[in-house]
Amino acid sequence: MARPVLFRVTNNLNLGGVQRRLLALLPLLVPDFEVHVVTYRDRGLLFDELARAGVITHHLPIRSKWSPIGITKLAALFKRHRAEIVHTHSLGGNVSGILAAALARVPVRIGQVHVTGLHWYGRTVWRRRRQAFSEAMVHRFFSHAVLCVSAETRQTFLKGTGLPEAMVRTLYNGIDFDGMLKSEADSPRDLEREMGIEPGRSVIGVVGRMVRVKGIERVISLADFLKRERPGKFCVVLVGDGPLTEELKAEVKARGLEKVVFFAGEQKMLGPFYRFFDVLFFPSPAGSEGMSGVVLEACGAGLPVLANEAGFLDEIRPLYPWIHTFSPQSEPSDLAEGLARCLAMRPESMYPPLVDQFSIQAMRDRTVALYGTFLNARNPLSVEQSVKA
């Protein structure tokens, strides 16, 4: 029996959170579906890796999400492969991908939202409202469901679009905890030696894009405070890259923090770093994330977490109690106290309640069940069954 043809549509396959989830999830769907992924901005570092894992990859440049030429070409691709499900990601993919799927008469059309406050990214309130209205119209007339990665994101999206509640569902991210922790790479001692970190220091880990919206400027002020008030006790390791990297390096040098703050750059394998860290510092402000894969990965590795207050954390904490939060008004001294509380904790790696909810296998099972519900329905728009979070 032929497998149903599934298309995922995303802007690129670089080393971002959405892309890492696709890398972990899509190969698990291959036994049940003929899985395709389309990128419309860049191929990305994970493009060929997904192809090696049995996913059929396509790169089809689209100049803008409303491009008639791009949408028509994408629809032709769906028709050529007889797509039965099109599942799109983020604002650009949701607009052009869903419109193309409707044009190609794809039976099941699903959009997905990954961030809470930045999904509509226009520079002005008017532009953001216009983006929200336009996307809402696309989903209202052409989508069968919209998935959100957290209950917080779902509520924000419902408020911004006015879509029916039954249409907008929660599907939590999944993490390949086993693969992450069993990855063969440098040991913590090797990383300490390679980076030139003095032994005996507690390692504060920061993972993510080096961009202002992630609250990364807090890291430098915290490191400066720790150097003055807790000399020789801590170091900070930043894993990731982005437009602020060089600016951050210059500030580290200007403040004389070269022996406190270390830059690891962009890393494909994060497991060794989670084993190296003593605590994860997560400065992203509320609204900048939907359901942070970094926080979930750190929890799976048994790390205490000190994070900026955000609604999605309330969905994790009942399953993993070793999370402390700070407010946007917190001073570096408050953060230092939070770090001390975190370091006094003794979390459990692979904590069963967390794994049961947020494993990649749980995400795979929920995704397959969702697709099956729509494929088996004569009229997908009438399906009321929700995805249980």
For 72, phi and psi rounded to 5 degrees?
A: -65, -45
**What is the CB neighbour count within 10 angstroms for residue 312?**
23
Reported as a pLDDT band with limits 50, 70 and 90, residue 193 is: confident
pLDDT above 80 for 160: yes
| pLDDT (0 to 100) of residue 257 | 96
| pLDDT (0 to 100) of residue 189 | 75
| pLDDT (0 to 100) of residue 380 | 52
Q: pTM of the entire structure?
A: 0.89
pLDDT above 90 for 349: no
- The pairs formed by 157-164 with CB atoms below 8 angstroms and a separation of 24 or more are 157/113, 157/119, 160/119, 160/120, 160/132, 160/136, 161/132, 161/135, 161/136, 162/136, 163/136, 163/139
CB 6 within 8 A of CB 87: yes
pLDDT above 60 for 279: yes
Rounded Cα gap, residues 220 and 76, in angstroms: 49
Q: What share of the chain is helix, strand, coil (3-state, %, to 5)?
A: 45, 15, 40
Rounded Cα gap, residues 333 and 330, in angstroms: 8
Reported as a pLDDT band with limits 50, 70 and 90, residue 167 is: very high
Rounded Cα gap, residues 229 and 233, in angstroms: 9
Rounded Cα gap, residues 377 and 371, in angstroms: 10
Identify any residues that bridge with 10 across adjacent strands, giving them in sequence order: 39
Rounded Cα gap, residues 219 and 206, in angstroms: 8
Q: Do domains 5-174+359-382 and 177-354 have the same CATH topology?
A: yes
| pLDDT (0 to 100) of residue 389 | 37
Reported as a pLDDT band with limits 50, 70 and 90, residue 382 is: very low
Mean pLDDT of the chain: 92
Strands of the sheet with 202-207, listed across from one edge: 261-265, 234-239, 202-207, 279-282, 305-308, 323-326
In the DSSP assignment, the letter for residue 38 is E
Reported as a pLDDT band with limits 50, 70 and 90, residue 180 is: confident
CB 40 within 8 A of CB 9: yes
CB 284 within 8 A of CB 308: yes
CB 332 within 8 A of CB 143: no
Cα maximum dimension of the chain = 67
The amino acid that residue 320 corresponds to is Y
Rounded Cα gap, residues 102 and 190, in angstroms: 52
The amino acid that residue 94 corresponds to is N
Please report, for residues 80, 83, 106, 143, the alpha-carbon distance to residue 163 in angstroms, rounded to integers and kept in the order given.
31, 26, 21, 11
Residue reference for tokens 């970094």: 294
pLDDT above 90 for 273: yes
Identify any residues that bridge with 239 across adjacent strands, giving them in sequence order: 207, 265
Rounded Cα gap, residues 255 and 196, in angstroms: 19
Reported as a pLDDT band with limits 50, 70 and 90, residue 315 is: very high
pLDDT above 50 for 386: no
CB 239 within 8 A of CB 270: yes
CB 68 within 8 A of CB 39: no
Percentage of the chain lying above the pLDDT 90 cut: 78
Chain segment 69-115, per-residue pLDDT in tens: 999 999 999 999 999 999 999 999 999 999 999 999 999 999 999 99
Q: Return the CATH number of the domain spanning residue range 5-174+359-382.
A: 3.40.50.2000
Tokens, residue 294: 């970094």
Residue 101: exposure state from Cβ atoms within 10 A (0-12, 13-18, ≥19): buried
In the DSSP assignment, the letter for residue 175 is B
Would the CA dihedral through 246, 281, 22, 149 be positive or negative? negative
The amino acid that residue 118 corresponds to is L
pLDDT above 90 for 182: no
CB 273 within 8 A of CB 250: no
Helix (H) or strand (E) holding 168: strand 168-170
Reported as a pLDDT band with limits 50, 70 and 90, residue 345 is: confident
| pLDDT (0 to 100) of residue 184 | 59
The domain limits of the chain are 5-174+359-382, 177-354
| pLDDT (0 to 100) of residue 191 | 86
- Rounded average pLDDT over 322-332: 95
| pLDDT (0 to 100) of residue 213 | 85
pLDDT above 90 for 310: yes
Return the CATH fold of 177-354: Rossmann fold (3.40.50)
